């Protein structure tokens, strides 16, 4: 069913089941406690009356013909007992004291009644009240005799058996002398009270259940509302609107952390798409120029006859355009491999100071041509990495420092070991980079209009340098001041 596929409904169902179990358990416990208290109160009243009956049975009121100087009957020897009190001859005359007579009778709302039966004389009824209940079931007379009683008519350390019939409740007490006392009463009022309590508990539980379910539905909906916002925003982003963001103010719980992470992801995604779009546009622009040159040269040559020198000039122009396209394509492929993590770097121990010296020697002719002096301060240092890729970075940075320097300028190269990091700085005294252009110098195809524009420069050199450095686990930074110079700082782990 679709309802069970909803997190909201599943949480609500589980919450409802738990709430029902708690309410049922609480209600059942409260009902049993109340019912037990009611029946304990009734049993106390019945026990009190049974004790009075037992005392009256074995200590009957004094008769007029009994001498005052004679011991009570229960203290006489068995052979001197009156016939009515000798063993197997229970008393046939039971006199209830007048002050106890109001404990039994139909005038009481509970209609207390009693019955005294001799178990030793074929269940003979010794005495009973006049208000015996109708349809009373037959009493089972085979009860265990109480032992070690502290009185001849009451055992307070054991609960007497009870019986329930119709709307009556009775207790049965067996005396050591062989009599059984049954005392009971009507419990109609108590049953009605218990029934009303059960109805009241059910109504209160139902109200609590409805309020709990409504509150649970509201809380679950409020807790899951940010998910709807996340889904709505993700749908818009999937449709192409990358500027959408999740409202974090409505998600103050763990979902707020998720929303913040997703917003950060969406921001990076928007930036990546923008860079990709700009990259594709710049790549198309860079490729369009040499393609246009080739098409123009070939079209012009085909329109009219030329001499050998003219054809040669056309072919040379097409060759230069093709070489520019090849360099651009190779740079794009190199960046793509770095982005995909497919560029395999050599991990070998080598002398980084020698690699830098080789790069300086390689660009020395260009520096002499531009009248730029290179000052080196290179400390011996070994690191682990790809020496060919790193010499490419050094050569690129040195070439830029020379090309965009001023005549009779300087390029300072310094290598040092700082906190187990190889720190290489290349500083020039050129025109510098404006503060507006400085944050974007490592972007692909980005070229400063003032200081980073040159023939054949596609704006990918610094991007490739940055990719190589980061692939080695290092960092590269740039600082510059206009008309003072630019400094590139590269940090690489020395490794083991």
Query: pLDDT tens digit string along 166-198?
Result: 888 999 988 888 888 999 998 988 899 999 999
Q: Contact, 401 vs 426, CB < 8 A?
A: yes
Q: What angle, 0 to 180 degrees and rounded to 10, lies between the N-to-C axes of helices 254-303 and 188-238?
A: 20
The mean pLDDT values, 10 residues at a time, for the chain of 496 residues are: 71 88 92 91 90 80 48 50 43 67 74 86 80 72 45 48 85 86 90 91 92 87 76 80 72 69 82 74 71 83 81 84 80 73 78 91 90 91 88 90 90 91 92 84 68 52 86 90 90 81
Domain count, the chain: 3
Q: Residue 432's domain spans which residues?
A: 348-493
Whether residues 327 and 419 share a domain: the answer is no
Report the pLDDT value the prediction gives residue 100, as an integer from 0 to 100: 75
Q: What are phi and psi of 271, to 5 degrees?
A: -65, -45
Exposed, middle or buried: residue 93 (CB in 10 Å: 0-12, 13-18, 19+)?
Answer: exposed
Note whether 158 and 254 are same-domain residues: no
d(CA 172, CA 164) in angstroms, rounded, equals 11
Handedness of CA 142, 127, 136, 108 (dihedral sign): negative
Residues 180, 73, single domain; the answer is yes
Do 463 and 412 reside in the same domain of the chain?
yes
Residue finishing a domain among 324, 340, 356: 340
Any domain includes 199 = no
Q: Do 7 and 68 reside in the same domain of the chain?
A: yes
Per-residue model confidence (pLDDT) at position 489: 94
Are 265 and 184 contained in the same domain? no
Is residue 229 situated within a structural domain? Answer: no
pLDDT at 216: 86
H-run or E-run covering 490: strand 485-493
This prediction has a pTM of: 0.48
Query: Do 280 and 172 lie in a common domain?
Result: no
Residues 333, 353 within the same domain:
no
Which pLDDT score, from 0 to 100, does residue 140 have? Answer: 53
Domain contains 121: yes
Which residue among 166, 192, 218 closes a domain? 192
Eight-class DSSP state of 160: P
Same domain, 334 and 362: no
**58-to-15, 74, 86, 177, 340 alpha-carbon distances in Å:** 63, 7, 12, 9, 107
Task: Give, for 479, the enclosing helix (H) or strand (E).
Answer: strand 475-481
Domain CATH for 326: 1.10.287.130
> Is residue 218 domain-resident?
no
254 and 336 share one domain: yes
- Look at residue 161 and tell me if it is in a domain: yes
Pair (409, 285) in one structural domain = no
C-alpha torsion angle, residues 239, 241, 242, 247 (rounded to 10):
-100
Q: Does 354 lie in the same domain as 326?
A: no
């Amino acid at each position: 069913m679709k309802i069970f596929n909803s997190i909201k409904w599943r949480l609500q169902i589980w919450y409802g089941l738990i709430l029902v179990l708690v309410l049922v358990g609480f209600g059942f416990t409260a009902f049993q406690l109340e019912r037990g208290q009611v029946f304990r109160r009734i049993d106390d009243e019945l026990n009190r009356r049974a004790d009075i009956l037992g005392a009256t049975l074995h200590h009957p009121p004094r008769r007029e013909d009994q001498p005052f100087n004679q011991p009570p009957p229960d203290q006489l020897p068995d052979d001197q007992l009156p016939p009515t009190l000798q063993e197997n001859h229970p008393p046939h005359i039971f006199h209830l004291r007048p002050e106890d007579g109001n404990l039994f009778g139909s005038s009481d709302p509970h209609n207390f009644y009693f019955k005294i039966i001799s178990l030793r004389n074929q269940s003979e009824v010794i005495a009973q009240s006049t208000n015996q209940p109708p349809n009373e079931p037959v009493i089972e007379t085979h009860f265990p005799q109480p032992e070690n009683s502290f009185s001849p008519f009451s055992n307070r350390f054991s609960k007497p058996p009870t019986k329930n019939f119709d709307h009556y409740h009775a207790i049965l007490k067996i005396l050591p002398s062989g009599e059984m006392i049954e005392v009971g009463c009507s419990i109609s009022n108590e049953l009605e009270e218990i029934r009303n309590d059960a109805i009241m508990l059910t109504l209160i539980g139902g109200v609590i259940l409805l309020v709990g379910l409504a509150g649970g539905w509201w809380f679950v909906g409020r807790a899951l509302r940010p998910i709807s916002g996340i889904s709505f925003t993700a749908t818009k982003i999937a449709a192409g609107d990358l500027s959408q963001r999740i409202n974090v103010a409505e998600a103050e719980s763990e979902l707020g952390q998720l929303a913040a992470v997703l917003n950060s992801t969406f921001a990076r995604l928007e930036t990546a798409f923008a860079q990709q779009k700009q990259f594709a546009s710049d790549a198309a622009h860079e490729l369009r120029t040499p393609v246009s040159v080739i098409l123009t040269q070939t079209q012009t040559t085909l329109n009219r006859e030329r001499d050998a020198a003219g054809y040669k000039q056309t072919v040379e122009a097409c060759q230069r355009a093709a070489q520019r396209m090849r360099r651009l394509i190779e740079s794009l492929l190199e960046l793509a491999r770095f982005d995909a993590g497919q560029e395999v770097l050599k991990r070998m121990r080598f002398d980084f100071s020698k690699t830098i010296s080789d790069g300086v020697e390689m660009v020395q002719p260009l520096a002499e041509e531009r009248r730029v002096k290179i000052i080196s301060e290179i400390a011996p240092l070994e690191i682990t990495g790809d020496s060919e890729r790193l010499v490419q970075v050094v050569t690129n940075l040195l070439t830029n420092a020379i090309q965009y320097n001023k005549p009779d300028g300087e390029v300072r190269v310094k290598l040092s070991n700082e906190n187990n990091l190889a720190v290489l700085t290349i500083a020039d005294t050129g025109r510098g980079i404006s503060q507006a252009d400085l944050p974007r110098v490592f972007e692909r195809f980005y070229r400063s209009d003032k200081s980073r524009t040159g023939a054949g420069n596609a704006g990918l050199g610094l991007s490739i340098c940055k990719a190589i450095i980061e692939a080695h686990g290092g960092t590269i930074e740039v600082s510059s001041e206009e008309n003072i110079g630019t400094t590139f700082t590269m940090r690489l782990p020395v490794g083991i």
